């Protein structure tokens, strides 16, 4: 039976540095499955520059918590053995695992090297602001502890095209390395003139040895972990031709079902459209534009016209290539792309991604489990579980929209015979109490429906025409349908990512 698919981003920035994260995943997998979550996106599993690195300061892609490097054997999240055990348990629970892979840069080199660079303007990386000069850069990666296991490849400055620190002078800047094939890649995002360079030692995909090594690494990682796909980090900074080839080669090796979603953090729709064209629509993208629509809606309150919530979003234009989300680790408070969706609007936003037919929704760990750190944010699990359960049991069938009022909108899913008891009516308000008169279908006539969120008490009986008046409290969401709260869920993963 075809089921709705739901992803969980299984981390936030302030995961404790205790090495227990993979163990936590193994423990929580059965609970996730019970609420219809059948995909988890795990944080970068490779050894970072320190043991408390979140994984984006990647040092050694072949160390998954196996070698005594950078402060210990385990990564921030645990050991290689614990990682593989957690993935195996997820698979047992019918949950697929997407691994976060960082292929833009490397950090934490063992040695510096002397080489020539030119400095570029940080706001226009195409503009050179110095004559060539020599620096000492952290670009020599020998991995002496690993000593050639899994790969003999050693990195040096010839494999990079940029860095951000001159150790000789103790000076930060953006330095393009001089030499043949050291120009910035042209097939990247055009922000700052050219956004090939992001941080640390920037991997240069013009070099064939680098291209071949990263292809080898991608295959090694998937074979080793038995993950089901990749979340590609920072792809707007990576040569888009390489991304297209990487996806093609991984699928040639692991099959067409090997899943890809990319982080292309740019709210501009045209930029995402251009990227999808360059990679032949072979991957999905996170719908950053929709996230910012949610952010704006939460800030503006009743002044935001809910009828426009999907304007300019990826899910509106390319629903089969959109991974929808409300917040993630980069948008959470205190981070570089902070744009935290206000708490009052969170349930409305989650209803908009979980209970509609388009997009592949991703629930954020920071919302579901909570955010730790100096300014903790509590879990919203009690609000999210009813929405997840409604997605698992109710949100099927034809979708009919009632986007006819600026502050109160709704839609229905009419249900299917295949999913017994399915069908729902969803109503949102960002202002006062309201209602929507909506038709759910004569097949539901005479049935009694309740608000499964608990936001609105009472019951509704569907009339002989298959219609009813569905109320909603101001500033909340109500999801009306048959109550399935005591019904177990079994969700085998299939190949279709649509709902």
What residues contact residue 252 under an 8 Å CB cut-off, 6+ apart? none
The length of the chain is: 499
Q: Is the Cβ–Cβ distance between 263 and 286 less than 8 Å? A: yes
Which residue matches tokens 């008046």?
469
Per annotation, catalytic residue among 12, 24, 119, 233:
233
In this structure, are strands 360-364 and 7-9 parallel, antiparallel, or unpaired? parallel
Give the E-state strand segments of 241-357 in sequence order. Answer: 259-262, 284-286, 322-325
Best CA proximity match to 324, nearest among 338, 336, 307, 341: 341
What SS3 class is residue 338? coil
> In the structure encoding, which two tokens stand for residue 315, read together?
């899910």
Looking at beta carbons, which pairs linking 310-313 to residues 24 or more positions away fall under 8 Å?
312/269, 313/269, 313/287, 313/289
Cβ contacts of residue 335 below 8 Å, gap of 6+?
Answer: 13, 329
Query: Helix or strand or coil: residue 393?
Result: helix
Can you say which residues are annotated as belonging to the binding site for Ca(2+)? Answer: 104, 196, 237
* Helical H segments across 35-134, by residue range: 80-92
Sheet strand arrangement including 408-413: 399-402, 408-413, 424-429, 477-481, 448-451, 459-461
43, 165, 251, 283, 438 from 286: Cα distances, Å: 16, 31, 20, 10, 31
Residue 65 is classified by DSSP as S
Q: How many CB atoms lie within 10 A of CB 141?
A: 20
> CB neighbours of 285 closer than 8 A, spacing ≥ 6?
261, 262, 264, 272, 275, 276, 314, 321, 322, 323
Active site residue 233: yes
- Give the active site residue among 12, 263, 389, 467: 263
In what helix (H) or strand (E) does residue 384 lie, and over which residues does it extend?
A: helix 381-393
Examine the residue annotation and report whether 431 is marked as an active-site residue of this protein.
Answer: no
Residue 49 CA to residue 27 CA, distance in Å, equals 28
Give CA–CA dist 145/69, Å, rounded.
Answer: 7
Using only C-alpha atoms, what is the Rg of the chain? 24
Catalytic residue set: 233, 263
């Amino acid at each position: 039976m075809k089921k709705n698919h739901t992803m969980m981003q299984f981390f936030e920035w302030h995961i404790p540095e205790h090495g227990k994260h993979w163990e936590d995943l193994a423990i929580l997998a059965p609970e996730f499955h019970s609420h219809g979550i059948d995909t988890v996106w795990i944080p970068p599993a490779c050894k970072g520059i320190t043991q408390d690195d979140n994984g984006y300061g990647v040092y050694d892609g072949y160390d998954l918590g196996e070698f005594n490097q950078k402060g210990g054997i385990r990564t921030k999240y645990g050991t290689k053995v614990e990682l593989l055990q957690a993935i195996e348990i997820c698979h047992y629970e019918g949950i697929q695992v997407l691994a976060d892979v960082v292929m833009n840069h490397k950090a934490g080199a063992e040695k510096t090297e002397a080489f020539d660079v030119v400095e570029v303007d940080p706001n226009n990386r195409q503009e050179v602001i110095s004559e060539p000069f020599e620096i000492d850069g952290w670009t020599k990666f020998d991995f002496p502890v690993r000593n050639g296991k899994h790969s003999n490849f050693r990195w040096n400055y010839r494999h990079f095209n940029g860095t951000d620190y001159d150790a000789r002078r103790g000076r930060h800047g953006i330095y393009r390395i001089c030499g043949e094939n050291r120009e910035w890649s042209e097939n990247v995002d055009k922000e700052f003139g050219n956004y090939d360079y992001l941080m640390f030692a920037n991997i240069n995909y013009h070099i064939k040895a680098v291209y071949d090594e990263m292809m080898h690494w991608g295959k090694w990682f998937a074979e080793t972990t038995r993950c089901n796909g990749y979340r590609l980090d920072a792809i707007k900074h990576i040569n888009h031709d390489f991304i297209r080839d990487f996806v093609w080669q991984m699928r040639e090796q692991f099959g067409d079902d090997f899943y890809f979603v990319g982080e292309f953090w740019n709210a501009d729709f045209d930029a995402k459209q251009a990227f999808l064209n360059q990679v032949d629509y072979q991957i999905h993208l996170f719908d950053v534009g929709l996230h910012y629509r949610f952010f704006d809606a939460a800030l503006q309150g009743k002044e935001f016209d809910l009828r426009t919530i999907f304007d300019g979003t990826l899910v509106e234009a390319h629903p089969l290539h959109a991974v929808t989300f409300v917040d993630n680790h980069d948008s959470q408070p205190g981070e570089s792309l902070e744009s935290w969706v206000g708490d009052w609007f969170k349930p409305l936003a989650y209803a908009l991604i979980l209970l509609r037919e388009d997009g592949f929704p991703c629930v954020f760990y920071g919302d579901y489990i909570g955010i730790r750190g100096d300014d903790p944010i509590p879990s919203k699990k009690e609000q999210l579980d009813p929405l997840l359960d409604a997605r698992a049991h109710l949100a099927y069938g034809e979708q009919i929209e009632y986007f006819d009022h600026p502050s109160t909108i709704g839609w229905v899913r009419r249900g299917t015979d295949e999913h017994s008891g399915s069908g729902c009516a969803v109503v949102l308000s960002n202002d006062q109490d309201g209602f929507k008169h909506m038709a759910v279908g004569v097949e539901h006539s005479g049935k009694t429906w309740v608000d499964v969120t608990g936001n609105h008490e009472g019951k509704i009986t569907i009339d002989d025409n298959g219609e009813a008046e569905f109320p909603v409290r101001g500033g909340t969401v109500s999801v009306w349908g048959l109550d399935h709260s005591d019904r177990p869920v079994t969700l085998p993963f299939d190949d279709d990512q649509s709902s």
